[in-house]
Amino acid sequence: MKTYREELVFETKTRRAYLNITPQVEAVIQKSGVKEGLVLVNAMHITASVYINDDEQGLLKDYDAFLERLVPHSGTYRHNETGEDNADAHIKRQLMGREVVVAITNGRLDFGPWEQIFYGEFDGRRRKRVLIKVLGE
């Protein structure tokens, strides 16, 4: 079995952002040479997320509005009493998830209709990483 590891680096200009990283993941799979296997894609920071959904701008805005209603940045959080201001980002990450695992078939992501991989940023404006680990033959 082959393994291949690569990191993506992001530094968003805004506090919250939703980036379609499917092309970058596909490029890593191509570099790996794996034709049949699995790819793990995970956020390496506790205020960011990786998830799968449709790349439709209305849906991305709906996600952002929903998360901000559910866990507002301006809310009162004990974590923020430590001098931080990102408790909401930690909670949003828990809701959206840490990672995805996708099958690789014939050297390509084996997706259902409309599925895309996203990086969700909830405490941006600083450098963060996403791990891509490819396993297979």
Band of residue 130 on the pLDDT scale cut at 50, 70, 90? very high
At residue 29, the pLDDT reads 98
Closest residue by Cα to residue 16 from 121, 129, 125: 121
Report how far residue 4's alpha carbon sits from residue 81's, in angstroms, rounded to the nearest whole number. Answer: 41
Band of residue 67 on the pLDDT scale cut at 50, 70, 90? very high
At residue 132, the pLDDT reads 99
At residue 39, the pLDDT reads 99
Look at residue 35 and give its three-state secondary structure: coil
Q: Mean pLDDT over residues 50-64, rounded?
A: 97
What is the residue-averaged pLDDT of the chain? 98
At residue 63, the pLDDT reads 96
- The residue extents of the domains of the chain are 2-136
Q: Are 42 and 55 in contact (CB under 8 A)?
A: no
CB atoms within 10 A of CB 133: 18
Taking the domain 2-136, which CATH number applies?
2.60.120.460
Q: Mean pLDDT over residues 2-24, rounded?
A: 98
pLDDT in tens, 76-110: 999 999 999 999 999 999 999 999 999 999 999 99
Strand-pair category, 17-20 with 128-136: unpaired
At residue 86, the pLDDT reads 98
Return the amino acid letter for 19: L
Look at residue 18 and give its three-state secondary structure: strand
Whole-model pTM: value is 0.96
